[in-house]
Chain A
Amino acid sequence: MRIELALFASLEPYLPEGESASGRRTRMIDLPGGITVGEVVARLGLPDQPRVCFIDGRGVREDAVLTDGVRLAIFPPVAGG
């Protein structure tokens, strides 16, 4: 299956090679069906730190399962205002 992956702020350097999707910080990536957010995190080698993950704009935990065509966005802890 194919999903859109977006990595922001300090996670940007972990973006895999490949076709960018809807912006510079996004890629289309191929993944086996049934994979969880946490497994993608491990594959990408993201640092062992808290992070905030979204599937299609909804905050999710790392045991959430990805399905074909979704957008997965991952952020390091950020805040401001």
Chain B
Amino acid sequence: MGSLLRVDMACLTVKKEPVPAGWAKYAGRALTDAIIFAEVPPKADPLGPANKLVLAPGLFGGTPAPNGGRLSIGAKSPLTGGIKESNVGGQFAHSAAKAGLAAIIIEGRPADPKALYALDIDAQGNGMLNRVDDLAGLGNYETAEKLHAMKGDDKLVTVTNGPAGEMLMKAAGIAVSDPHGYPNRFAGRGGLGAVMGSKGLKAITIPLGIESLPHADKEAFTAAVRKFANALKEHPVSGQGLPTYGTNVLANIINEAGGYPTRNFSEGRFEGVEKISGETMREITLERGGNVKHGCHTGCVIQCSRYYVHPDGSYWTKGSEYESVWALGADCGIDDMDGIAELDRKCGDLGLDTIEMGNVIAVYMESGKAEFGDVQGALAALEECAKGTETGRILGDGAEATGMAFGVERIPVVKHQAMPAYDPRPIQGIGVTYATSTQGADHTAGYSITANVLGVGGTVDPLKPLGQAELSKNLQIATAMLDSFGLCIFVAFPVLDIPAAFEAIYEMATAHTGDPWDADALMKLGRETIAFERLFNESAGFTAADDRLPAWMLTEKLPPHNSVFTVTDAELDSVHDFVAETAAEMGISKP
């Protein structure tokens, strides 16, 4: 088990500590949650000195477990006011784990509010704070370049905060570098960039690291890895669909199902979808000689990532994800792929969450401040954020702040966080997840699109409430478990359909750690993770009334199916019926 690296931004000290014995089974999301639960007062000001930013690789960080290098970043969210775990790819999790770190805890606040620091971690996991005032205001791309130059290490792994985070905008995310050093993987959701900004921290660096961590039983680990990798390659979604087309392969199918939110959630189909679909993106990228398949971190065998390139073939931005293309595209009525790429690049460089900002711009357009479909208008809105104007600061604080400031009633948020790319009215299962997730409206928290639309892990009728609460609950628990292992949630598709894939997870865990893991232990870990989050949120002031969709989604019919959200409050409240019992077993009640 690795160490905790505690970074005190008030005293400017960095020290290593052992992980408390009670947390031995926690890593990734479970560990960021356990630390925040134990150390952050639930009523703390998210941008004040009492909040903490915690980064933790999953249990498989630093090992060759397929798709096991995801990173959890947690804090109390300035956007939702609740606990947050934002999950991100990139190289950092593997490198931190290889340096012997289970988590990095950033706490306190520098006395000088203008001072900017980088936390430089060495290969042994020792950290040092260095002043980097000259990086102030720089975008993520330039910041990463300068850090590479300063360190003279072209393999350096970076975690960076863009100007939006420095300006404490609530839509600010944190960028992690990919295997080629581009700072294009985002812990986007929930305003964690603002928390990093509030700590005066501009960047974290760490050398790539080479040696994988040792395993308790190497042979068994290798066998389980092979079993897992085979399942991932065998399943048509992870073996073919995702690597060929990327996540944006979803655009056409969600549009077909009538759940592709268009022009600020006013319609469920976008007439311009063909121009911005994954199929079209692939054609454009191939034509321009761009990269259409790679992993966001080493060890990913699915490889859904790609780069979107300029007409001359040079790098433009991460091959925009489904969520980003939808948010900055259909939700804003924009069907111009290059325009969307520029918006995506700009969000990435400023360090703004594309999902939140697509919603922001759509709400802004609905207010009449810009026209739906107008790329230039959308870029101008982001420029306001870049300049930090009064308007820009409102927009940078998210969709709810924007709607309230500009008089828009249709604001698609839950727990103050904007909805992702699936309308919950024709896809009711995702509505249950949006409503009840500890994270605010978050599709990844319990990806019920599976059985609702994609025919993965069973089938339910997406227009009906039947079975949706149970589906979402089980997925939320399973996802919390995957996030704690550092596994990419896309392994869930084969795990739901192929029993060997699920077995391989606990076999890898047992062989790696030497502790006994089995199916029950995996689900227990998922339940415990959510218990930490629910109890924290309750103490922060959340009630059942926060586990609801916006009221207009219960009455405003969405074309083409003219559906409204019909899952009852009682069904929504049943999703977390396990929490009290789990908390009692854990011996916890309040943070």
- A interface residues with partner B (beta carbon < 8 Å): 6, 8-10, 12, 23-25, 49-50, 52, 54, 57-59, 73, 75-81
Question: Is B274 a contact partner of A23 (Cβ separation < 8 A)?
Answer: yes
Question: Is A9 a contact partner of B249 (Cβ separation < 8 A)?
Answer: yes
In chain B, positions 87-133 with a C-beta closer than 8 Å to chain A are none
**B419 at the A/B interface (Cβ < 8 Å)?**
no
The interface residues of chain A lying within 8 Å CB-to-CB of B237 are: 77-79
Q: Which of A9, A49, A59, A80 interacts with B462 by CB under 8 Å? A: A59
Question: Is B278 a contact partner of A9 (Cβ separation < 8 A)?
Answer: yes
Question: Is B323 a contact partner of A6 (Cβ separation < 8 A)?
Answer: no
Least CB distance from A70 to B in Å reads 13
Query: In whole angstroms, how far apart are the Cα atoms of A10 and B235 in the complex?
Result: 15
Q: What is the interface size of chain B, counting residues whose CB is below 8 A from a CB of the partner?
A: 46
Question: Is A76 a contact partner of B236 (Cβ separation < 8 A)?
Answer: yes
By beta carbon, the residue of chain B nearest A61 is B459
Least CB distance from A55 to B in Å reads 10
Q: Which of A9, A52, A81 interacts with B247 by CB under 8 Å? A: A81
In chain B, positions 411-426 with a C-beta closer than 8 Å to chain A are 420-421
By beta carbon, the residue of chain A nearest B257 is A57
**B244 at the A/B interface (Cβ < 8 Å)?**
yes
Question: Is B240 a contact partner of A10 (Cβ separation < 8 A)?
Answer: yes
By beta carbon, the residue of chain B nearest A53 is B455
The interface residues of chain B lying within 8 Å CB-to-CB of A8 are: 252-253, 279
Q: Which of A12, A23, A75 interacts with B253 by CB under 8 Å? A: A75
Query: In whole angstroms, how far apart are the Cα atoms of A21 and B461 in the complex?
Result: 28
Question: Is B252 a contact partner of A79 (Cβ separation < 8 A)?
Answer: no
Q: Can you name 29 A-B pairs with beta carbons within 8 Å?
A: A8-B253, A9-B252, A9-B278, A10-B240, A10-B241, A52-B455, A57-B560, A59-B455, A59-B461, A73-B252, A73-B256, A75-B256, A76-B236, A77-B235, A78-B241, A78-B245, A78-B249, A80-B241, A80-B242, A80-B246, A80-B247, A80-B249, A80-B278, A80-B321, A80-B322, A80-B490, A81-B323, A81-B420, A81-B444
Least CB distance from B64 to A in Å reads 24
Question: Is B561 a contact partner of A78 (Cβ separation < 8 A)?
Answer: no
By beta carbon, the residue of chain A nearest B238 is A79
The interface residues of chain B lying within 8 Å CB-to-CB of A77 are: 235-237, 240-241, 454-456
Least CB distance from B577 to A in Å reads 26
Least CB distance from B329 to A in Å reads 15
Least CB distance from B270 to A in Å reads 12
Q: Which of A6, A9, A59 interacts with B245 by CB under 8 Å? A: A9
Query: In whole angstroms, how far apart are the Cα atoms of A53 and B257 in the complex?
Result: 10
By beta carbon, the residue of chain B nearest A56 is B560
**B450 at the A/B interface (Cβ < 8 Å)?**
yes
**B453 at the A/B interface (Cβ < 8 Å)?**
yes
Task: Tell whether A81 pairs with B257 under 8 Å between CB atoms, given A9-B278, A9-B279, A52-B453.
Answer: no
